[in-house]
Structure 1
Amino acid sequence: MSTAIHPLRIANYRSYWLARLASTIAQSALAIVLGWQVYSLAREMMDIREAAFLLGMIGLAQFIPLFLLTPIVGVVADTVDRRWIVRGTTTLLMANVLWLGLATWEGWISLPVLFGAAVLVGVARAFAGPAYGALAPNLVPRESLPTAIALGSIAMQVGFIAGPSVGGILFAIGPITAYAGIAAMFGVALAMLLTIGRVPQPPAQKDRRPLARIVDGFAYVKRNRLVQAAITLDLFAVLLAGATALLPIYARDILHVGPTGLGLLAAGMGIGASLTGIFLSFRPMSTDVGRKMLIAVVIFGLAIITFGISRSFALSLAALIVAGSADMVSMYVRGSLIQLHTPDEMRGRVSAVSQLTISASNELGEAESGLLAALLGPVAAVVVGGVGAIAITLLWSRLFPELKQAKTFDPPEAPLSVIPPETQHGVAQP
């Protein structure tokens, strides 16, 4: 029987968990409001396929700054106090929302304003992601980390459930109400982050030039094939099978359920992921973790195909719940493998690489979905994506046998091939 302390019994982790919950609710609510406003404004000027393409470009607007900043943000997370990074990015997000509220109040809200806000969200997320990811292992004992990762995922998935509904309800009352409420939630997250006391952080590698330290993060991922497999499988599977960008199209023009239905559809994957995360927090996965990740991604692809061809709101919602549950299993395995197989002094940089692939699969996936929907139509775009995710999983199971062979999260004795060159043989290299 495990003797690991439960993460929620640790005050710093509780504050961290509440901050992630409030921030995710706010970000999810903001995403639904941005998506609905962009699509509605676009539909006033263009047809459904052109509007779908523009909707997908919102994801690209968030991805570009993250892509450009990724070489920097990992080093920042391994150098600067991670608490202050997430405090600063939360403040930026809150200011961004207040700016949107002002634009709406004064009547100059427009597509350029909305896209500008999306770029600022991308900048904030670029810095926040590695810092959040690298901070969690500093808050709990090593043996409690898989449970902490599951709980962190629960906070995010509960946010994904509540956020769209909160955003939809507040926006139905009025756009100003929506932006005020979202800003208040970011304020709660900031208050929680300010209560986190000082935590250990590895000293910066002052003997290494910044460029060399940036390269170290990418090189480590390349050398550790298990980490590489877990990161890239998620990248390509969700890049191909991401359907969330097209939810406004399904809600308005295919399922005909309006903003209320859109909020429920947007919450669907979060519902499945949250329920699975709760289960994993009490019954942590411990055997055949790699094989279970592969199976989960196949199920994810099948669920996305089902959503794509469904014309029933109930079936569509159920398919998204199943997809969210499968995605939670994949995220749980991937997060645990990355954190437990990565030295603490490199977690910021490796988390930055992981975040880049996650954002590529999410935000860049939104752009891909929008482009494919403009070319093939939204239904064909979703179905082709689901089939592609399954094909990628089968291919990865052959290219990376290490993933199928991963029985537990515990790393083996580190071979020299996965130890950073500057620390091999226990001697810093000049």
Structure 2
Amino acid sequence: MHQKVDVLRSAPVAVGRCPVLGHLPRLAASRSRFFASLRDQGEVVQVFLGGWPAFVLTSPEAVHEGLTEKSRNLGKGLLFQTARPFMGNGIALSEGAFHRRQRRILQPGFHRDRMPAYAATMAALAEATAEGWRPGSVVRLDEEMRSLAAKVIIHALFSSSHDIPPDLAEMGERVPSYLHVLTKGMFLHTLLPAPVASLPTRGRRRFFAAAATLRGLAERAVHHARLHAGEGDLLSLMVGHADGATPAMTDEQARDELLTLLIAGAETTATTLSWALHVLSTDPRAQDRIGAEAHAVGIATEPCAATPYTDRFLTEVLRLYQPNWLMMRRTTRPTTIRSVPLPEGTELILSAAALHRDPAAFPDPLRFDPDRWLHRTERDLPRGAYIPFGAGNRKCIGDTFAWHEMRITLAAIMARWRLHPVPRHRVRAVEHVQIRPNALPLLVTRRSDR
């Protein structure tokens, strides 16, 4: 457990603190609403996770200062510390020189020159998924998106490999359910008091079983890559990269990076796509506009192809339906943010979901409006106000990859199908590690059907 720090007099304590439990009851009621409520209490606000203090950065200025200007004074926080035994020490969790080394090895795999090849694979997988639906059927689109996102990452990992063992070839079907159990379990391990989180419940047993299964699959994938070295895919970069200054990854390091890419890449992208399809199911005009762009430029489009409405639509989905309600950092040395002195070992929290609903930056913030981006781009916003992929030296390495995957998937679906809500089903937000739909069954009909 991290070192407890003294309560800071210069940062206000959030209202609603309970004895013993601190602000956990308010977090349990609604994480995103709780963090949104803090913006009027100060730019740096103290909250208590049980008896442990953390400091929430509520303003764009505070977030930008922390993630960019003071980034060298911040390491990963409690959530990541809790995840490390299960996810390993991949680039989402690693620190300092080791993090920079791993990122340097992986970076060529996400270079823009590779995007056209990735785009072709994404399009083929998205089209195959969409063609598998039957007109007039109800499809669980959230499950379909989880499966598709896992397959896209796996094909990027293995794109030059041949004769993949059946258990690895089937990872796209098996991984999504394990990822869901693992991410939910990591969240509970972080926020619940240790005696409660360690109770031998059925959920805890499922959590450890999912973690062990994913590690086993990743280890077999790395072993296979060692025996069948290829070129051009992400696994080959992990196990084959070596130069005078940077040796190749060990099997353990490659396993950890593979797990990180699966968890960070598949789960977040699938959640965002699920929210996008939910919005589209309620807006036939938006479906028509994205479908028209898909027919105009094609599905397996070059990354620079003009799809202005689709891009604005996704930008707005990432604003209003931002899946990441919680990011955590920890000060590695004494630092100051917005004039608040923070000792070494201070836990920091920021919420992209809360920032993206700030009325100071986004008028009428709860209204979904892609055309708000027609006259005000990201560059016009205060720095730190819109951070769908993070910011600073820990910004998501796969942001461009994920962006093209989402726009291609929407194009593949909207070129073929109309989406309709299922009567009497209410889509609700479920807040664990991410804010995701509880379930997304949608009726699908061919676009030619009226």
Given the two structures, how large is their TM-score scaled by the length of structure 2?
0.28
Structure with higher strand content: 2
Given the two structures, how large is their TM-score scaled by the length of structure 1?
0.29
Structure with higher helix content: 1
Larger radius of gyration: 2
